[in-house]
Amino acid sequence: QLYAPTDKEEFIEYFEKGAKVIGYLDEKDDLIAMAVYIKKGYEKGNYGYDLDLEGESLLDVGQVESTVVRSDYRGNGLQKILCGKVEDIAKNEKVKLLTSTASPYNKYSVNTFKNLGYEIKRDKIKYGGLRRYVLVKEL
C-alpha cells in the first residue's frame, strides 16, 4: 500500500500538540497540497525510536508527518517544495534530525526525499502491517 491514511482524530491530536500545517491553494483557494510537521518528543510515534534513539536525543527529532498533493497537481514538485518549507521550520526549532516515512513502492515520494538529502535508515513494518522506509536528514 502506497499511503497510510491519517484519520480526523489523529489530525486534531496533532494540532493540539503543536503540529504545523502548511499548504498550497489554487486560484480558487482550494487546497491542492499540504504537509504536516511535528515534534513528538517522548511519544511512541516519534520516528527516533525506529532509529534506536533514546533519552534526550528523541527531543532533537522532527518529522514530516504527512504530505498530500491532490492528484491533478502531482508531478509539479509540490511535495518537494513543501518538504523544503518544513525543513525551514525544523531548522528554526533547532531540530537536529528531520525524519519521515514512505512506502518503498512509492518511488516518487522516496525519490523526492532522496533528492532533498534524506537517507533510508530503516526498512520496517509500521502502521498495522505496512512496509515503510524510515528516512532521515541531518540538519
pLDDT in tens, 5-43: 666 787 677 778 889 999 999 999 999 999 999 999 999
DSSP state of 78: H
Radius of gyration from C-alpha coordinates of the chain: 14
Q: How far is CA 13 from the centre of its chain?
A: 16
Closest among 86, 82, 63, 87 to 14, alpha carbons compared: 63
CA dihedral 69, 10, 83, 129 (to 10 degrees): -80
Task: List pLDDT tens digits, range 33-86.
Answer: 999 999 999 999 999 999 999 999 999 999 999 999 999 999 999 999 999 999
**Does the 8-138 domain belong in CATH 1.10.760.10?**
no
Mean pLDDT of 118-128: 96
H or E element that contains 136? strand 130-138
Helix 78-92, helix 107-115: angle, nearest 10: 50
Mean pLDDT of 113-137: 96
pLDDT at 102 over 70: yes
pTM for this predicted structure? 0.89
